[in-house]
Structure 1
Amino acid sequence: MKFGWNGALPAPGIRTIRDMRGVLANPRCPASGPLYYMYRDLARSAADRRWLADQQLRYDITVIPPFDLCGEYVKTKGHYHPADPAGIGYPELYDVTEGRALFLIQSRTLDDVILIGAETGARIVVPPGYGHITINPLPDATLVLANLVSTAFESEYGEYETLHGAAYYVMNDGRIIRNRHYPAVPKVRHVAAVRGRDAIGRASTGTIYSLIGDRDALSFLNEPENHPDVFTGLIKG
């Protein structure tokens, strides 16, 4: 069983430091090589794969080994999600399956920036209208994430690339440094992930994979306009 996954694993997509250089706090960082690994469109059975396809959903695993990016914690590149047909941005659902994560999420209007600390077993939602990066803050442990997301859109990386990363850089000495390429942005709001609840607020001890087959629990990923309670309930200000 690899990364807590007992199904087939395809070859991963690999994000290298070269791919990431433009979004780093130090774009001249001389480090090189693979940075993190993305296993897309996973399913443990043919029935699960059919259900996910019918619901326009995808289950992925991302593996982020520890790495020092010249003083910055290792992180994902960062992206936004576009709006759905109702004009509401598509959300995304995450499990932290190994390690500890920091989710740095920011509203597209740049009036809210949130840093969410999430331990193993935590579940969080990236709400509509927010972009996000994920950070591994542990120097000696790999971060493994699982996510469920709609297949009705493609992620938008352009704004993160143009502005050289997220609104803030999270450094491994504890500093949170504002990205000077952004206009004025608010201070970071620190939030703890809600534990022990599923996507619609019910008590839960399972992983997000256990929600596959439950359309009621996951319909918010394609119809966020019908489930505003999901986003207010899982992120506390």
Structure 2
Amino acid sequence: MSDARIGSSVGTGGTNEAGDVRVVQDLLNRAAGARLDVDGDCGPLTEQAIADYQKGFTRRPDGRVDPGGLTLRKLNEAVAGGRTPQGAPERAPAEGAPAAPGGGPSSGTRLQALGRGSGFYSYAKPERQFGSDPLLDVLRAVGTRLARAGLEYGVGDLSFEQGGAISPHKTHTSGRHADLRPIRSDGSHDPTSIGDPSYSRDSTRLLVEALQAQPAVTQILFNDTDIAGVRTWPAHDNHLHIQVR
């Protein structure tokens, strides 16, 4: 069995071409039991999985896999030696993923438009609000729950209809990521940020709790450390970033 190869760097600060990302995600699943979705999206979970794996052989993990580099060599050696951790099942690529150019949905598949619904409003252009069924189900269910409390939350960028790169994001290529606006205390649909007088921590906490109640949600990035269950990430004071399975 030949070693897996990548054409460009993957991870923190990398080029993150979708095909290369899928190779690294698959290697991490097989070598380290990372349980990543093999979808070509190099998001925070993939970057963290790379860094965690590097801690096993270097004191300075950088969260990146380079072509011909030490991390790629270690991953290939682990897979060739069959050293997948006990109890960590190998994850096959998502159905249709190898045929998805640019990290988008599988060939012939179109993502669905979010449209309108109860308990949420849109603050992105319609052409940037296409998602997978699991993502749209989450957004609508959360909206229904918040509407019962008399609240609305804002939904920003999801993906393009055919997936693929969507500036300025590294992710949002496959309909499984969404940016959400924190809830304001005055009910306005204008932007807000942690520390701004208009920001409502209590209402935004209800938003996070509604997201956490959805089994499909795998991560919530947001920098308000007074809200349980979120993970801090640079430049996430003014929006939440969620990912679904």
TM-score normalized with structure 2 length:
0.29
TM-score normalized with structure 1 length:
0.29
Q: Of Structure 1 and Structure 2, which has the larger fraction of its residues in helix?
A: 2
- Flag the structure with more relative contact order, 1 or 2, with Cα contacts below 8 A and sequence separation at least 6: 1
